[in-house]
Amino acid sequence: MDITIKGLEHSYGKGTPFERKALSNINLSISSGTFQTIIGHTGSGKSTLIQHLNGLLKPTQGSIQIGDFKIQAGVKEKRLKALRKHVGIVFQYPEHQLFEETIEKDILFGPLNFGVSEDEAKRRAAKLIQQVGLDESYLSRSPFDLSGGQMRRVAIAGVLAMKPSILILDEPTAGLDPRGRREIMDLFYRLHEEEGLTTILVTHSMEDAARFSDDILIMEKGGVVLQGNPETIFSNPEALKNLSLDVPETVQFIHRLEERFNKDLPHSVFTLKAAVDAALSVLQKGDDS
Amino acid sequence: MQNIIIGQYVPGQSFIHKLDPRAKLLTAFLFVIIVFLANNWITYVLLGAFTLLAIFVSKLPLRYIYNGLKPILLVIILTFLLHVFLTKEGPLLLDLGFLEVYEGGVEQGIFISLRLLFLILITSLLTLTTTPIDITVGIETLLGPMKKIGLPVHEFALMMSIALRFIPTLLEETEKIMKAQSARGAQFSSGPIKERLKSIVPLLVPLFVSAFKRAEDLAMAMEARGYRGGEGRTSIRLLKWSGKDTTLFIILLLLCVSLLLLRS
Ligand SMILES: Nc1ncnc2c1ncn2[C@@H]1O[C@H](COP(=O)(O)OP(=O)(O)OP(=O)(O)O)[C@@H](O)[C@H]1O
Ligand SMILES: [Mg+2]
């Protein structure tokens, strides 16, 4: 499902003394199957933007088209539940949404709400609990006895069990240990590739943004300030610095290499392996001369 | 969610914002009593004038207050209707066969609804224009003398302020959890009643879990910072009674005397 956002504006607390504009004039289109990343400082409106994509927030102005669903300022969309079946959101700190007696029941909550049969939902739960890095014995345990990181994994499984075709991830790895982060991000990316999901990732990690994205959107003060593929975005460290953002460590490394050896190198180096290769190539050439 | 004004503080610089919290607390308390003095049109008009004046002077946006009242309006309307239908006094106004409406009933209905409305407005005004901390300090000083007879005044004031402080936080939390569960297909504000009722558990359980967790964290943080109850504790905020506060009491006194003179 393609997503088209036109002239989107959102104010919190409309008509109260606390009214505050969180988004202004956002125009954006995300075609089906894209890995879209959203970067921006805290308070720049990322969470506000993504909550519009399944009708949790209503635009104060403008419209959002998702497949054949349309959400418009001032118009009541009646098929929100149908829309939400297609758009899954993993919220910032999703562990707060756990409520059932057992982990299995909690994972089933979403699918059963959307009319999936119990057998099918249970099959999904059994598969997902392993995919998020826990084993099947956890299914019968209480979600409240888990560590923070394990709760996060269960909550993520609960969203994935809905099999959404658009998956929205709001800083899904914040607060996890480095290995947990890598595992979870790899899982999301694998699902993105295998199931052809449209993935929208909100993150503060430039490394994740660089590695996975087809397109990166940079937000500041409720608006879009930069947009492009990772190569273009990270080839201009100055522009990012002006927004007080960094380039990924691998790209920083390449820039240092360039300075040190006075050579031009390709800038689209986003994995550790690629960085090592680039360094090797420089060093080997250095030997030759 | 965003319209709820209970426990909300709106920063400002108005006459009412600058009053001593003790003056405001006492006024609210006395107002609750003198509301019951009113028993005819002229006295209700006086009370109404006082309430409107207070709202006007506080410079709070009228639309905000109106939106905040909406949920309570239902209760007021219900009270009104009950009185209209159940009080059988004075001349008959309307006879629908199964239902008779008397003039006394309509009058009673209007009076009681107004009374409720005034009470709610004045007490909301108190929290809207006073920070929770000021309210606590105010209560604690006002009840100070009670310490002598062994009442846990400090603890009571602390409890009040924590409760006030956490109302907006809990509302925020409620909204967050509602969003997360809605995204998983729960229905809170649309759909059949049965569906909506079923959504209460997925909302309340996480809400309680996080409220208990917050309480625990707060207790821990207070202990870590050396909190050990009210004994020997002084307040960083010094309350100062000023001319403004005396003015307020003169107005209140005038109101009270007029009510006594004009009531029938
Ligand atoms: N429920 C709310 N009520 C009122 N204002 C809000 C609410 N949620 C967010 N805001 C305000 O809207 C602005 C954008 O917030 P948002 O949560 O979208 O930022 P964000 O980019 O997701 O930040 P972070 O990286 O910290 O998650 C902020 O100024 C915030 O104060
Ligand atoms: Mg956010």
Has residue A5 got a pLDDT over 60? yes
pLDDT band at B2 (very low <50, low <70, confident <90, very high): low
Give the pLDDT of residue B207: 94
Q: Is residue A288 part of a domain?
A: yes
- A17 CA: distance to closest CA in chain B (Å): 7
Helix, coil or strand: residue A60: coil
Taking only the tens place, the pLDDT of each residue in A78-90 is 788 899 999 999 9
The ipTM of this complex is 0.88
Q: Is A148 exposed, middle or buried (0-12, 13-18, 19+ CB in 10 A)?
A: exposed
Instruction: Summarize the confidence of residues B173-190 as an average pLDDT.
Output: 90
Residues contacting B33, CB < 8 A, separation 6+: none
Exposure string of A242-264, with b = 16+ CB inside 10 Å and e = fewer, is ebebebbebbebbbebeeeeeee
Residues contacting B49, CB < 8 A, separation 6+: none
Has residue A92 got a pLDDT over 60? yes
* pTM of the predicted model as reported, rounded to 2 decimal places: 0.83
Which residue is closest to A112 within chain B, CA to CA? B185
Structure tokens at A229: 């593929």
Has residue A45 got a pLDDT over 80? yes
Helix, coil or strand: residue A165: coil
Q: What's CA B201's distance to the chain center, in Å?
A: 28
To the nearest whole number, what is the mean pLDDT of chain B?
88
Has residue A15 got a pLDDT over 80? no
**Strand pairing of A223-228 and A166-170?**
unpaired
Q: What's CA B227's distance to the chain center, in Å?
A: 29
CA dist., res. B102 & res. B125, Å (int): 35
Which residues surround ligand 1 with Cβ inside 6 Å? A 12-13, 20, 22, 40, 42-48, 92
Instruction: Summarize the confidence of residues A93-107 as an average pLDDT.
Output: 93
**Closest C-alpha residue for ligand 1 atom 22:** A47
User: With an 8 Å Cβ cutoff, are A97 and B177 in contact?
Assistant: yes
Q: Which domain holds residue A287?
A: 248-289
Q: Is residue A14 part of a domain?
A: no
- The number of folded domains in chain A is 1
Instruction: Summarize the confidence of residues B33-42 as an average pLDDT.
Output: 90
Give the pLDDT of residue B197: 85
* Adjacent-strand bridge partners of A169: A90, A201
Instruction: Summarize the confidence of residues B38-65 as an average pLDDT.
Output: 92
Structure tokens at B255: 């109101």
* A88 close to B (CB below 8 A): yes
Among B155, B126, B122, smallest CA distance to B140 is for B155
pLDDT above 90: percentage of residues in chain B:
49
CA dist., res. A179 & res. A59, Å (int): 38
Q: Is residue A135 part of a domain?
A: no
* A222 close to B (CB below 8 A): no
Q: Is residue A20 part of a domain?
A: no
